[in-house]
Amino acid sequence: METPDSIQLEAVKRSKGLEWLMTVDHKRLGVMYICSGLFFFVVAGIMASLIRIQLAVPQNDFLPPDTFNRMFTMHGTSMVFLVGMPIIAGMANFLVPLMVGTRDMALPRLNAFGFWIFLFGGCLLYYSYIGGPGLYGAGSAPDVGWFAYAPLTSKAFSRGHTVDYWALSLILTGIGSLATAANIIVTVFCLRCKGMTMFRLPLFVWMMLVTAFLMVLALPPLSAAQIMLLLDRFLGAGFFDTQEGGSAVIWQHFFWIFGHPEVYILIMPGFAVASEVIPVFSRKPIFGYPVMVAASIMITFISLGVWAHHMFTVGMTSVANVFFATSTLLIAIPTGIKIFNWLGTMWGGKIRFATPMLFCMGFLFQFLASGLTGVMLAIVPFDWQLSDSYFVVAHFHYVLVGGLLFTIFAAIYYWYPKVTGRMLSEKIGKMHFWIFVLGFNMTFGVQHILGILGMPRRIYTYDTDRGWDLWNMISSIGVIFQGIAILLFIYNILSSLRKGKEAGPDPWDAWTLEWATSSPPPSYNFAKLPEVKSRRPLWDEKHPDDPDWRHE
Amino acid sequence: MSNSNTATAESQQEWKLPSAPKVGMICLIVMETALFTIFVVAYLYYIGKSLNGPFPKDLLEAPIIASICLLSSSGTVIMAERAFKRKDKAKFRLFWGITWLLGATFIALTAVEWKGLLENGLAIDTNLFGSTYYPLVGLHATHVIIGLFLLALIFILSITNHLPFEHVIPMEMISWYWHFVDAIWIVVFTVVYIIGVY
């Protein structure tokens, strides 16, 4: 029917921007998640650079103290909630349906809702910057640290709306993450293609599933605590108000009940990427698949019971300290199992040193370092010495940058051809890798020393007589290298979009289902839904003489 | 070639997966449980820590009638479900309607209770008891109200003959949600009106 209305509707449908705005396609939402994550990554990275410039020399007055507080708060909050979480959600969105061989996520509209509410939450957080100080509500970015300890967040100590922005925007992004988590769980359980039993799922899917479970269990407590905080601030409730008999420590408990599992929510997708990339570039199936799955589930359970290791210096009973120290140390076991499995996969393999593999190998070394400092910090007396020092800063940057960010880079180099149909430049990629490794270890490696020398985190400036000058300078110079590497990376992404080598459906000679369809995949993913008989369906297809299912 | 035989045998098997709405609903219920847990823990932690009155034992009376209403509505919703599956429209409407009425009575009684508490000088900013009582009971009441909207939606669709009696799932999901709300009430009742008072 060619009514004027339907013609108009067609015109609207053809407009490309609107098509993206209104999409419920999991691949587009995935790309949108990753792009907004990378955008916030650049913003939060600029803040990090400003922090390092301020700390490069003693007695610096580059940033005013209150601006410095806003910088580290917004840097931390953004990196966790607006960079880590959306990029993870984006990877899961793009890859999980392809990997389990289905056409879309189980709840596509909920998926779109999740993305938009995340983006709205992110914008709300940054909205707090707009306008000058003094304007009602605006010009007052959060400045209480990313874990917003009570009683600093009470009305008496945080006037204006800094904390309100922090809580409201994180509740919103939390809802978005919960929508994604539910979607992943339902997709993996209910939409697997024929023959894709739970123990034939790619490890990436397994670990995203475990991450989704962790989100479902850990994010609502954060929202609950933030609702209580807002009740305190707006309605005069007394949850965290010591003047009314409330407890400031219970905020720490509630926050870390979320906050510790959050670390595993962020790192498990890193494991997921490594578990896909390392086998493909070693030309060997993953070593110990069932053990990997079991270790992931173990990490999930243990991580829910370790939160108070962030609170050893609060003054808990020694029974509690021992319990949380022990449970924290236990996590080293499944994590160690994983590292040995990755090494076992590489052992005797035909390793190709392509950029994704390089990033995964960098990840192995740096994540090992972060694990070892983690074990050190789990020892209570050691933690009493170095809690809230730069040693802790170094530790968690090794986890989140050396662990998560390196694998995110690996993932982007590995799956970029699938998303865009073109390869990223290997030459620039390798430059990116080496410069970033150098810069990263320069910046954060020496912070271990700074911590041992007694430099507390979050200080705005320091005196010359502390012996911290040289190390701070080195640390700040490292940022320059990191910045150059990131610029190379962005250049690579943008230029390869046009000029990159055509990828074809399976440029890496990989084995999982996402490589079975064209690059970029059509909106319906697979012309005919696949059927699998083993963990490596594409291997079976390429080697009909010796398929995997004969050996399973 | 025994291997290829097993493989063909496998491909002939029916490929069965769990139903998406059910798994999704279970996810939602787990999230809600996690949310409630924190409020319940906060309530338990702050029992007896109020610095000034009024205290729970001065004001709280166990809402026996409201609880009976809410808990029995779990039974009527099951009856409605059975009628739905038998496609017995009249019985379905009857029991579904009774469920709604029982839920609405619960909310009305809660409103009366809150009015009394406010008149006796307990507000959210009075003391820790008020701070923890209203959010916990209020969070539950909010869930009941959402449930009432969903129940009403199905009821209206049913009396206007727009409810497809072939699709069990949407109705079933709402009844799952309703059971969850009832189960949470048992916890809230125990914590607030039994542990909190004695």
- pLDDT digits 0-9 by tens, A242-279: 888 899 999 999 999 999 999 999 999 999 999 999 99
- In the chain, the amino acid numbered A498 is R
* pLDDT at A7 > cutoff 80: no
Is the pLDDT assigned to residue A552 strictly greater than 80? no
pLDDT digits (tens, 9 = 90+) for A82-111: 999 999 999 999 999 999 999 999 999 999
Closest partner CB to B125 (pick from A192, A228, A236) = A236
Two tokens, residue A511: 């084995």
Paired with A194 in beta bridges are: A531
The one-character DSSP state at A83 is: I
Task: Provide, rounded to the nearest whole percent, the portion of chain A with pLDDT above 70.
Answer: 96
* Contact check, Cβ <8 Å, B132/A239: yes
CB A94 within 8 A of CB A26: yes
pLDDT at A6 (0 to 100): 54
Among candidates A192, A221, A246 on the partner chain, residue whose Cβ is nearest the Cβ of B34? A221
Nearest to A183 by CA among A26, A19, A300: A26
A188, A201 in Cβ contact below 8 A?
yes
Residues of chain A with pLDDT > 90, as a percent, come to: 84
Contact present, A148 and A163 (Cβ < 8 Å): yes
**CB distance from A237 to chain B under 8 Å?**
yes
pLDDT digits (tens, 9 = 90+) for A147-197: 999 889 998 888 888 899 999 999 999 999 999 999 999 999 999 999 999
Which of A186, A220, A257 minimises the CB distance to B23?
A: A186
Spatial separation of the C-alpha atoms in residues A144 and A124, rounded to whole Å: 17
Q: Residue A120 to residues A35, A110, A147, A213: CA-CA distances in angstroms?
A: 15, 15, 21, 24
Mind telling me how many Å the CA of A106 is from chain B's nearest CA? 7
Matching residue, tokens 């499944």: A334
- According to DSSP, the residues that pair with A502 across neighbouring strands are A422
Distance from CA of B24 to the nearest CA of A (A): 6
- A272-296 pLDDT per residue, tens: 999 999 999 999 999 999 999 999 9
Torsion of CA A443, A448, A453, A456, to 10 degrees: 80
pLDDT(A393) > 60: yes
Predicted local confidence at residue A315, as pLDDT: 87
Could you give the residue ranges of the DSSP H alpha helices within chain B?
2-12, 20-46, 56-59, 64-85, 89-119, 128-159, 168-189
> ipTM for the complex?
0.92
* Chain B touched by A220 (CB under 8 Å): yes
| Chain B contact for A219 (CB, 8 A cutoff) | yes
Residues contacting B38, CB < 8 A, separation 6+? A220, A221, A224, A225, A254, A257
Q: Is the dihedral of CA A376, A380, A386, A392 positive or negative?
A: positive
| Residue type at A107 in one-letter notation | L
Q: Is the pLDDT of residue A134 over 80?
A: no
Contact across the interface for B31 and A220, Cβ inside 8 Å: yes
CB contact under 8 A, A254 and B135: no
pLDDT tier at A547, thresholds 50, 70, 90: confident
Q: Give whole-number Cα distances, A32 to A114, A279, A336, B5, in Å.
A: 12, 28, 34, 45
Contact A257 B38 (CB under 8 A): yes
- Which residues in B lie closer than 8 A to residue A219 (C-beta atoms)? 31, 34
Say if CB A497 and CB A417 are below 8 A apart. Answer: no
Helix (H, G, I), strand (E, B) or coil at A170: helix
Distance from CA of A147 to the nearest CA of B (A): 17
CA A326 from centre of chain:
26
A465 phi, psi to nearest 5 deg? -85, 15
Q: Is A550 on the interface with B (CB under 8 A)?
A: yes
Task: Tell me the nearest-neighbour CA distance from B31 into chain A, angstroms.
Answer: 5
Which residues in chain A touch residue B124, judged by CB atoms under 8 angstroms apart? 231, 235-237
In chain B, what residues touch A231 (CB-CB under 8 Å)?
A: 124, 131, 135
A178 touches chain B (CB under 8 A): yes
- What is the distance in angstroms between the Cα of B64 and the nearest Cα belonging to chain A? 28
Instruction: Say if the Cβ atoms of A237 and B15 lie within 8 Å.
Output: no
Q: Do A250 and B127 touch (CB under 8 A)?
A: no
- Residues of B within 8 A of A178 (CB-CB) are 31
Q: What is the pLDDT of residue B4?
A: 46
Count of other CB atoms within 10 angstroms of residue A89: 31
Nearest-by-Cβ selection for A245 from B37, B124, B128: B128
A239/B19 CB distance under 8 A = no
Minimal CA separation from A236 to chain B, in Å: 5
Identify whether the C-beta of residue A462 lies closer than 8 Å to the C-beta of residue A476.
no
Residue among A182, A231, A550 minimizing CB distance to B135: A231
Give the pLDDT score at A12: 54
pLDDT at A4: 53
Identify which of A229, A52, A268 has the alpha carbon closest to the alpha carbon of residue A147.
Answer: A229
- Indicate whether this model's pTM tops 0.95: no
Average pLDDT over residues B129-158: 95
- Collect all residues of chain A within an 8 Å Cβ-Cβ radius of residue B173: none
Beta strand spans in A139-288 (E): none
- Residues 6 or more apart whose CB falls under 8 angstroms from that of B130 comprise A237, B122, B123, B124
The Cα of A209 is separated from the nearest Cα of chain B by a number of Å equal to 12
**Token pair for residue B7?**
């493989």
Closest CA to B149 of B169, B167, B174, B173: B174
One-letter identity of residue A353: F
* Range A453-457 average pLDDT: 94
Task: Flag if A216 and B27 touch (Cβ within 8 Å).
Answer: yes
Q: What is the pLDDT of residue B124?
A: 93
d(CA A69, CA A75): 10
Cβ atoms A54, A60 nearer than 8 A: yes
Mean pLDDT of the residues in chain B: 91
Query: Any idea of the CA torsion for A206, A210, A212, A218, to the nearest 10 degrees?
Result: -170
**Under an 8 Å CB criterion, which residues of B touch A?**
3, 7, 10-11, 15, 17-20, 23-24, 27-28, 30-32, 34-35, 37-39, 42, 45-46, 49-51, 124-125, 127-128, 130-132, 134-135
**Chain B residue closest to A246 (CA)?**
B128
Smallest CA-to-CA distance from A345 within A291, A403, A278, A293 is with A278
Q: Say how far apart CA A141 and CA A133 lie, in whole Å.
A: 10
- Nearest chain B residue to A179 by CA distance is B28
Separation of first and last alpha carbons in chain B: 72
Q: Does A291 touch chain B (CB under 8 A)?
A: no
For the segment A27-45, the average pLDDT, to the nearest whole number, is 96
Interface test with A, best of B35, B139, B142 (most A CBs within 10 A): B35
Average pLDDT value for residue range B4-11: 50
Give the best residue of A216, A265, A548 to mutate against chain B (max B CB count within 10 A).
A216
Distance CA A22, CA A32 (A): 12
Once rounded to an integer, what is the mean pLDDT over residues B107-117?
96
DSSP state of A424: P
Q: What pLDDT band is residue A76 in, cutting at 50, 70 and 90?
A: very high
Exposed, middle or buried by CB within 10 Å (0-12, 13-18, 19+), for A381?
A: exposed
Is A339 a residue whose pLDDT tops 50?
A: yes
Return all residues near A397 (Cβ < 8 A) that are at least 6 apart. Answer: A443, A444, A447
Q: Do B128 and A223 touch (CB under 8 A)?
A: no
CA distance A191 to chain B (A): 7
pLDDT-derived band at B1 (thresholds 50, 70, 90) equals very low
B104-133: average pLDDT = 94
Contact B128 A244 (CB under 8 A): yes
- Rounded Cα distance between A123 and A501, Å, is 35
Q: What is the token pair recorded at A368?
A: 């090992």
Say yes or no for a CB contact (<8 Å) between A106 and B37. Answer: no
Return the number of CB contacts < 8 Å for A and B.
112
